[in-house]
Amino acid sequence: MTKLKMTNEFKTLKKFDAGNGREGFLYSLPALEEHGVGKISRLPVSIRIVLESVLRNCDGKKVRRKDVETLANWNAKAPANDEIPFVVARIVLQDFTGVPLVVDLAAMRSAVKRLGGDPKIIEPLVPVDLVVDHSVQVDFFGSAKALQLNLELEFKRNRERYQFLKWGQQAFKTFQLVPPGIGIVHQVNLEYLAKGVLSAPSTINHQPSTIFYPDTLVGTDSHTTMINGLGVVGWGVGGIEAEAGMLGQPVYFLTPEVVGLHMKGQLHEGVTATDLVLHITQLLRAQKVVGKFVEFYGEGAASLPVPDRATIGNMSPEYGATMGYFPVDQESINYLRATGRSDKQCRTFENYFRAQNMFGMPGKGEIDYSVDVDLDLANVHPSVAGPKRPQDRINLPELGKTFRALLEKPVQDGGYGKKNVDLGEKHLVQLNGSAPRDRAMASTDEIEQGINPGDERNKIEMVANRPTPDTGKEIRAASSEMFTHGQSHIGHGSVLIAAITSCTNTSNPSVMIAAALLAKKAAERGLRVDPAVKTSLAPGSRVVSDYLDKTGLQKYLDQLGFNLVGYGCTTCIGNSGPLHPNIEKAIHEFDLVAASVLSGNRNFEARVHQHIKANFLMSPPLVVAFALAGRVDIDLSREPIGKDMNGKETFLRDLWPSLREIRDTMQSALKPETFRKLYRDFADQNPKWNEIPSSTGDIYQWDETSDYIHEPPFFKNFSMEPGHVEEIRGARALGIFGDSVTTDHISPAGAIKATSPAGQYLLSRGIEHSDFNSYGSRRGNDLVMTRGTFANVRIKNLMVPGTEGGVTKYFGNQKSGTGEQMSIFDAAMKYAETKTPLIIFAGHEYGAGSSRDWAAKGTRLLGVKAVVATSFERIHRSNLVGMGVLPLQFLEGASVQSLALDGSEIFSITSLSDKIRPGHHATLEIKGKDRKSHSVPVKLRIDTPIEIDYYRHGGILPFVLRQLLVK
């Protein structure tokens, strides 16, 4: 391990008892307070942890004395608008965002080599862990073979990416990889990667010593905040910022406000951690916590075990906060012990936090927060959230009523605009008919993979989920002994996907065991799931399977079709896989508002499945319950869920397990040895990974025949001189969007349509539609991703009213004053021929959702110079700057609507020069069709001084590369 060079600017280096007879050093926050640098003991714990990093890294250059003093004097009610240089201890990545990041590192190495330098100067300086979890898709389900078959397909589809990652694993020393089939990044982080406290060798007073510091991180996934539940500070950043962090740059952020959420009371029997987090999401959305830290404290917070806290931390992006942090206390230590961490590690964790005066859940009045919010846990009720946003919580009894109202509510008011709906009307769907196969489904070859031709059972199980002529009824019955008929009746509100998915919940044994116990009671009464419901179970670690197997509960989930489909994100990231083609046909034909129920954290349109319009987030036991009910237009508190084997009506209350049952089951099943055993020697536990061949060497040999990995153009013609900040003149609008355009709208992760520019490109490369894979998996190829930018099938460009998908009007052809309709990509390329700069206009919360760097990279590669929006979400704004695209915000009162923009105008952005400062006001000049000009001021959303540098250099990567090359 690299030896740390320690500074002691504030004379705060102190010895402490690191446990088990070891002595170590730390940068003491109490000592800093004693020296009169701020009232540190009154600071929120999350701020203190960041302060420790700033103090430890204070070298007068990257981190200045002033930075320490400013943060130590954080004023709760009026935090200074200063940027904090936060050097994190480590980085976590998932494969969708991690692959392009390793591609960029490889491209930087190639650029350094071209410039005659040593490529090895490009090397992560902090430990980086990449967990391959986002690629597995639910192609097979409801079968004992589903896991193996989905894994087979995953490896076949992602072979090139995995070969590349294996190259990265050997090329970069500080880069560790968790192969596919092990778990989901945030659950793996919680159960294994997180240490609580890290250490490094050092020399202090000329003696070899060890320095200890809190575990902190950033991750290229917005739900990195799940680790806040363990008392670890960390959050999601764009891939671009993470790259800079890896290369030794601090992560910069503005001094935040900290919302203190005081919890009191206890959760009632029957109320889950999922209900609690949906309640908190709604509560905090209303509090407008975007860009703020939230810290949970009080006796209610102390009563929550770490998995519940992690569920709450996980959904920080949904309530909009940078973090949802729980201070370290005895529960945190208990969790580390319960998950197999060593005694040495647990003692160090406890001793360190005690020595820093940061151990224990704070009580009311002990800490100064910017905003105080109270929550009585006794007021939380069973809930779901949806159908389109996670903050739209619905009390369970009201779901049926709410859904019925939404069906007829006008589209512009968030409804579905149906008229005279008869919810009793159902349409017969044959599930064993000879419908055309969905081209997105796997090829016959793939289905055949792993089949032993002589094994009839295997054949049956493999086709069970891929309906082909004459197979439905018998096959489903044969494969899982549950599907008793091969047809269904579906209508508005029918549940067509029921997924126990997402690390948000699968990391929490109490809700997973509750789901399994509910399945047991249902299965024992003979209740069954309708064959139209695509059921799946995708835990975030193999520990879940271990306890479900040990308790004998998995078999009941199997009986309801919740067979294990993989250890990965699956439905949570939109990899729900295809529905039966006849179901899709019926949805289209009758324009059905069908439903999904999932234990995920996001339900934006087209996120879960392109054809499912109503998506409800809920706890795993409720997912099982709604799968059994088969519809969402129901009040499960009063209406029966179904009939048992004797024809007797069964209610949710008959199936719901008691807290005691859940606790007893958990205690018998969760053992630290299991965690130790399952988190050892990953490579040995996945032979398929070992079979993948990979190249070696410091420089990646780019392969022009690959359609997954391609050298991006970011460093082509790279020079050592940065550019200048210049005005943008003669620009055209490439798109005008409304409110809440998510990064998923901008850069979708899911299926690639054959008719889309990306689809056409892949077809032109000789790739069959069945082999397209998803956008998420092609993020190592800029040629696909640029074509996929703004290509979400649900994005609505107001320049072309009444359309959906990535279309725009091209006004470069002066003969056509009304503009020529074409794809956004084609228009961008045509504008590029005339070097016409492009602008995107948008409403509120532009770039909400996942931290998706391709949403910024694709924007840049389409030739967009600026995005003008009413407001931005935090990560996407910083990613735009990180890619050298200017984010600009309308001032109060101005908007696309108030300016009556239709996209036919010619725009200029003036008052821009090298002298710009954060928050600078520029001018947006608009020349309309009538040739009249008018202008409005717009605010630069370059928020920190370092971002000015990034923008001037054309982005963060050229900035870092130039820094490294001059060293």
Angle at 35 between CA 29 and CA 39, to 5 degrees: 60
Closer CB to ligand SF4, 19 or 183, in the complex: 183
Q: Which of residues 585-644 bind ligand SF4 (CB under 6 A)?
A: 600-601
Residue from the set 48, 186, 195, 953 that interacts with ligand SF4 by CB under 6 A: 186
Q: Rounded to the nearest whole angstrom, what is the least distance from the CB of residue 879 to ligand SF4 in the complex? A: 17
184 near ligand SF4, rule: CB under 6 A: yes
Q: What angle do CA 540, 541, 542 make, to 5 degrees?
A: 140
Q: Which stretch binds ligand SF4 (CB under 6 A): 184-192, 321-329, 447-455, 559-567?
A: 184-192
- Verify binding: residue 827, ligand SF4, rule CB under 6 A: no
- Residue 57 binding ligand SF4, by CB under 6 A: no
Task: In angstroms, give the least distance from the CB of 512 to ligand SF4.
Answer: 14
Tokens of 938: 């717009």
Write the DSSP symbol of residue 754. T
102: nearest Cα among 130, 136, 135: 130
Which region among 36-44, 197-205, 344-352, 565-573 touches ligand SF4 (by CB under 6 A)?
Answer: 565-573
- CB-wise, 236 or 472, nearer to ligand SF4? 236
Q: How many CA atoms lie within 13 A of 728 on its CB side?
A: 27
Among residues 478, 600, 538, 525, the alpha carbon closest in space to that of 223 is found at: 600
Query: Applying CB under 6 A, which of residues 107, 185, 406, 822 lies at the interface with ligand SF4?
Result: 185
> Any idea what DSSP says for residue 715?
G
Q: Can residue 12 be called a binding residue for ligand SF4 (CB under 6 A)?
A: no
Provide the β-strand partners of residue 233: 216
First to last CA, the chain: 22
Q: Among residues 281, 288, 177, which one has the least CA distance to residue 225?
A: 281
Residues facing residue 25 across a β-bridge:
15, 211
Rounded Cα distance, 740 and 760, in Å = 28
Residues 776/792, Cβ–Cβ less than 8 Å:
no
Q: Which is nearer to ligand SF4, 494 or 504 (CB)?
A: 504
Contact set for ligand SF4, span 91-130 (CB under 6 A)? 94
Q: Does residue 270 sit in helix, strand or coil?
A: coil
Tell the smallest beta-carbon distance from residue 161 to ligand SF4 (Å).
17
Distances (CA, A) of 183 to 47, 187, 406, 501, 683: 31, 7, 37, 12, 13
Tokens for 748, please give them.
């979708």
542 touches ligand SF4 by CB under 6 A: no
Of 439, 467, 314, 457, whose CA–CA distance to 768 is shortest? 439
Nearest approach, Cβ of 769 to ligand SF4 (angstroms)? Answer: 25
Binding status of residue 791 toward ligand SF4 by CB under 6 A:
no
Q: How far is the CB of 786 from ligand SF4 (least distance, A)?
A: 23
Neighbours of 577 (CB within 10 A): 26
Q: Smallest distance from the beta carbon of 515 to ligand SF4, in angstroms?
A: 16
Q: Site residues for ligand SF4, window 463-522 (CB under 6 A)? A: 502-504
Nearest distance in Å: CB 569, ligand SF4 = 3
| Count of positions on this chain that bind ligand SF4 (CB under 6 A) | 14
Q: Is 572 in the site for ligand SF4 (CB under 6 A)?
A: yes
Instruction: Give whichever of 186 and 520 is closer to ligand SF4, judged by the CB atom.
Output: 186
217 binds ligand SF4 (CB under 6 A): no
Residue among 225 and 823 whose Cβ is closer to ligand SF4: 225
Instruction: Point out which span in 137-145, 178-186, 332-340, 813-821 binds ligand SF4 (CB under 6 A).
Output: 178-186
Q: Which of 84, 105, 380, 569 binds ligand SF4 (CB under 6 A)?
A: 569
CA–CA dist 689, 182 (Å, integer) = 11
| One-letter-per-residue 3-state SS of 642-683 | EECCCCCEECHHHHCCCHHHHHHHHHHHCCHHHHHHHCCCCH
CA quadruple 761, 765, 770, 772: dihedral positive or negative? Answer: negative
CB of 538 to ligand SF4, least distance (A): 8
* Residue corresponding to tokens 């993989």: 566
Q: How far is the CB of 642 from ligand SF4 (least distance, A)?
A: 29
In the complex, minimum distance from the CB of residue 509 to ligand SF4, in angstroms, rounded to a whole number: 16
Using the minimum distance from each CB to ligand SF4, give the nearer residue, 93 or 912: 93
Stretch that binds ligand SF4, among 146-154, 211-219, 568-576, 877-885 (CB under 6 A): 568-576
Question: 712 is written with which tokens?
Answer: 């991006």
Task: Tell me if 311 contacts ligand SF4 by CB under 6 A.
Answer: no
Among 154, 221, 331, 546, binds ligand SF4 (CB under 6 A): 221
Q: Per rule CB under 6 A, is residue 576 in the interface with ligand SF4?
A: no
Nearest to 238 by CA among 248, 252, 255: 252
- C-alpha 427/C-alpha 135 separation (Å) is 34
Should residue 220 be labelled a site residue for ligand SF4 when binding is judged by CB under 6 A?
no
Tell the smallest beta-carbon distance from residue 224 to ligand SF4 (Å). Answer: 9
Residue whose CB is less far from ligand SF4, 282 or 601: 601
Q: Report the alpha-carbon distance of residue 92 to residue 225 in Å, rounded.
A: 11
> Is 278 near ligand SF4 (CB under 6 A)?
no
Count Cβ atoms below 10 Å from residue 343 Cβ, excluding itself: 11
Sites of contact with ligand SF4 (CB under 6 A)? 94, 184-186, 221, 223, 502-504, 569, 572-573, 600-601
